[in-house]
Amino acid sequence: MVYIAILGGFGVIGSGVAQVLAQNAALIEKKAGQAVAVKRVLDIRDCPGHPMEHLLTKNFEDILTDDEIKIVAEVMGGTEPAYTYAKRALLAGKSVCTSNKELVIKHGAELLRIAQERELNFMFEASVGGGIPIVRPMNLALTTDEIVAVAGILNGTSNYILHQMEKTGAAFADALAGASALGYAEKNPKEDVEGRDASRKLAILLSLATGRQVNYEEIHTEGITGITAADFSAARHFGYTIKLLVDGRINGGGLEAMVAPALVHGSNAFSTVGDVFNCVLVQAKVTDNVMFYGRGAGKLPTAGAVISDIVDVSKHLHRHIMHTWSEEVNPVLPAGSYIKKKMVRAVCSDTVIAKNSIEKIYPGAKIFFSQDKTAAWFTPPETEDETSAKTAALAEAGGILKIEKTLRVYEPVNMEKI
């Protein structure tokens, strides 16, 4: 029998972990080689009538000093007290499994080192992509390959909102309320809609891909709060939809990483990812393209990912499962140098004069004028700095009132050129 404790056991994910452990007990026992039982639950809440009420403690020391507890599942979220608890658990000889992306990106490298030094494990499958197995494949199957790009949809809440806005014409606030009601959004949903949640997950994947700490604060991050029906309409005219995309590229020259709403062509698989689903494309030199798809948030899929770690740790109770993620920082290149195509939208005072102005700066651009005198066109692949300079000049040019929006166009790395 392996005894575990759940930190944050009465929350959405914690309840899910307990539910799946009970529901699939026989299966889990078979896979783990022994039964897995919850011995203590730490929570600040009282939860009268909860099936695990008798296991509740409000004192972490009860868990720390219980030598029978070998695994701590941390599903509280936030960096504190999660970091202190996770570190103390490892120092006390217990492995830790977490769904907490804030903890993982801020302290993961250190906690992995402590785990390694003590033949323990610090596991975090559920921290990226909810129910999608992505951390383990990055650490196992893809570990011998040179990864050149990691891109995709890594925030279920934003994807749900954009999908609702596009398909049902829902207002942003209503769609966000729906995502919160379904348990997808963070306690502070700004983390979702302003892109930081996705940025942390991209940083985790890039840290795993490069073996060095990628700080998410260095990633240029834009959210979806400014996306409008007019943006969707212009994108649709050109055969595209809009998704909140993470886009990381690793090349000899360094590391590029960006999180921003981007146009995705209808022929690209990301365009079909709806609702709370996430999708990640990993591009690697030997393996070529590998894609991962599944529910990116939600109680049971995320709980399932936490339990997959608990089972893995139960099978490796006295052996560290190697990760190559050091505390050495891998700097992210400044975004101004990234080369991408963009769709620009401009509000015009006179469409004929505006057309001339746009064509002077973007010769040959195919310009779409909507009924409200807004022009939309694509730039060629050019740096962020070039686009900024050109659109600044256009904002002052004849026939143009203002540049309304600039959205990047996603194009995967062309593996034939690698």
Residues that bind ligand HSE (CB under 6 A): 130, 155-157, 184-186, 192, 197, 296-297
Q: Which of 182, 205, 44 is nearest to 124 (CA)?
A: 205
CB nearer to ligand HSE: pick between 213 and 278: 278
Q: How far is the CB of 375 from ligand HSE (least distance, A)?
A: 34
CB nearer to ligand HSE: pick between 7 and 276: 276
Q: How far is the CB of 271 from ligand HSE (least distance, A)?
A: 19
CB nearer to ligand HSE: pick between 186 and 256: 186
Q: Degrees (nearest 5) of the Cα angle 342, 343, 345?
A: 135
- Would you call 195 exposed, middle or buried from its count of C-beta atoms within 10 A (0-12, 13-18, 19+)? buried
CB nearer to ligand HSE: pick between 155 and 308: 155
Pairing of strands 36-42, 56-57: parallel
Q: Give 76's DSSP letter.
A: -
Q: How far is the CB of 341 from ligand HSE (least distance, A)?
A: 27
Q: How far is the CB of 99 from ligand HSE (least distance, A)?
A: 7
CB nearer to ligand HSE: pick between 157 and 391: 157
- CB under 8 Å to 418, separation ≥6 — which residues? 148, 285
Helix (H, G, I), strand (E, B) or coil at 183: coil
Q: Which of 89, 56, 54, 85 is nearest to 70 (CA)?
A: 89
CB nearer to ligand HSE: pick between 132 and 376: 132
Helix (H, G, I), strand (E, B) or coil at 327: strand
Q: How far is the CB of 188 from ligand HSE (least distance, A)?
A: 10
The set of catalytic residues is 201
CB nearer to ligand HSE: pick between 197 and 256: 197
Q: How far is the CB of 80 from ligand HSE (least distance, A)?
A: 19
- Residue ranges of the alpha helices (H) in 169-277? 172-181, 190-193, 196-210, 229-237
- Maximum CA pair distance of the chain? 78
Kindly write down the DSSP assignment for every residue of 107-170, as one continuous string. Answer: HHHHHHHHHHHTT--EE-GGGSSTTS--HHHHHTTTTTS-EEEEEEE--HHHHHHHHHHHHH--
Torsion sign (Cα): 190, 199, 219, 256: negative
- Would you call 148 exposed, middle or buried from its count of C-beta atoms within 10 A (0-12, 13-18, 19+)? middle
Q: Which residues pair with 343 in a beta bridge?
A: 378, 407
- Token pair 């969707």 is found at 232
Q: At 104, list the tokens.
A: 């993982």
CB nearer to ligand HSE: pick between 197 and 384: 197
What b/e sequence results for 157-175 when a residue is b if at least 16 CB atoms lie within 10 Å of its CB, and e otherwise?
A: bbbbbbbbbbeeebebeeb
As a whole number of angstroms, the distance between CA 69 and CA 146 comes to: 38
Q: Which residues pair with 377 in a beta bridge?
A: 344
Q: How far is the CB of 294 from ligand HSE (least distance, A)?
A: 12
217 phi/psi in degrees, rounded to 5: -65, -20
Q: How far is the CB of 297 from ligand HSE (least distance, A)?
A: 4
